[in-house]
Amino acid sequence: MKDATLTRKSNPDHHSVIALTDTVSVGGDTLLIVGGPCAVESEAQMAQVARHLAQTPVQALRGGVFKPRTSPYAFQGLGAEGLRILDDLRHRFQMPVISEVMAVDQISAMAAQVDVLQVGSRNMQNFDLLKALGRTTQPVLLKRGLAATLEEFVMAAEYILSHGNPNVILCERGIRSFDPYTRNVLDLGAVVALKQLTHLPVMVDPSHAAGKRELVPALARAAIAAGADGLMVECHPVPDQSVSDARQALSLEAMVDLVHSLGPIAAALGRHLAPNRAAPALTTV
C-alpha cells in the first residue's frame, strides 16, 4: 500500500482519536459502542431504543434513513422525516447519532442533523461521494465493501483524508464468501491488520457479518479481543418486527447484556466501556 501515506501508521503508538461530539470519541481507551435499529421506522421506535440504551455504556445511536436495499420495492427509509427524528433524539438524549449517506446531494442536510455520516459497503468505492465527504469535517464511518481487499478499503479512506477530512473511522462488517449459513464472514484478521497498517480507529459490525442474532454476541466479544476500538450492533424494541434485517436484530435487553459481557475482555486489553450515564442527564426527556 505504498500510496497510503495519510492513513499509514508512523509508529506502533500512533492512534487517531476521533471526536463524535465534545464528550464522545473513538480510538482511545474507551470502547465506542453504537446500538440501534437497521432503519429508523418511527419516532416512537427510536425513542424506545434511546430510552433503553441512554443509561448504559452504549454511547451512540444508529438508524438508517436512506436505505440501500437489494430490491427497489423494499422499504427505502424515511428520508428527511427520519433525519428530523434523529436530530430531535440526539438533543433529547444527548447521544450522537450515526446514519448512512448514499449520495453527494444528501451530505449537507445530513451533516446538520446527524453526528457521523456512514458510508455503506455498497458505496465504499463511490469515489465522488468519498471526495465530497473529504471536503467536510464531519466524522465518517467507512464500511468495508462487500468484497473489498484491505488495500481497496484503506485507499477508500485515503480518498477522504486526501480531500481534507481526517475524521475517518473504519468498520469491518464481514465479507462475501461461499457459505450462506452466515450472511458474510467476519474478517477479524482484517481488524488486526488494519490496526497495524493505519492509525485510524477500527470498529466492527457483527450484525451484518453474522446475519443471525444468535451469533452476534460471541462475534462482538471476539472483535473486542482482536483489538477493535468499538462495535456497531443492530437492536430493536421488537426484533422480529424490524422492517429490515429482522433476523440479525437483538432485543434491547440482549443488547445491554452483550455490552456488559464486554467489560472483562476490554479490561484484559487495558480498555474499558464508558461508565453508565447518570439519570439526571435524562431530566429533560
Q: What is the binding site for Mn ion (CB under 5 A)?
A: 38, 245
Report the partner that residue 173 touches, choosing among Mn ion, ligand PEP, none (CB closer than 5 to 8 A by kind): ligand PEP
What phi and psi, each to the nearest 5 degrees, are found at residue 230?
175, 175
- CB 247, min distance to ligand PEP, A: 13
Decide whether 7 or 207 has the Cβ nearer to ligand PEP.
207
- Binding-residue total with ligand PEP (CB under 6 A): 9
List the one residue out of 173, 184, 247, 255 whose CA is nearest residue 213.
Answer: 247
**Residue 130 CB contacts under 8 Å (≥ 6 apart), including other chains:** 119, 156, 159, 160, 163
Stretch touching ligand PEP by CB under 6 A, among 117-125, 132-140, 217-225, 275-283: 117-125
Decide whether 38 or 219 has the Cβ nearer to Mn ion.
38
CA–CA distance, 100 with 97 (Å, rounded to integer): 10
Three-state DSSP state, 184? coil
Decide whether 90 or 208 has the Cβ nearer to ligand PEP.
208
Decide whether 173 or 195 has the Cβ nearer to ligand PEP.
173
**Which of the 8 DSSP states describes residue 200?**
S
CB of 201 closer than 8 Å to CB of 18: yes
- CB 221, min distance to Mn ion, A: 20
The per-residue DSSP string of 54-118 comes to TTSS--EEE-BSS---SSTTS----THHHHHHHHHHHHHHT--EEEE--SGGGHHHHHHH-SEEE
Stretch touching ligand PEP by CB under 6 A, among 12-20, 118-126, 159-167, 235-243: 118-126
* Residue window 58-97: x/- pattern of binding to ligand PEP, with contact defined by CB under 6 A: ------x---x-----------------------------
Decide if residue 120 touches ligand PEP (CB under 6 A): yes
Among 208, 213, 221, 271, the residue binding ligand PEP under the rule CB under 6 A is 208
CB of 59 closer than 8 Å to CB of 24: yes
Q: Which ranges of 125-182 does DSSP label H, i.e. alpha helix? A: 127-134, 150-162
Decide if residue 173 touches ligand PEP (CB under 6 A): yes
Decide if residue 99 touches ligand PEP (CB under 6 A): no
Residues that bind ligand PEP (CB under 6 A): 38, 64, 68, 120-122, 143, 173, 208
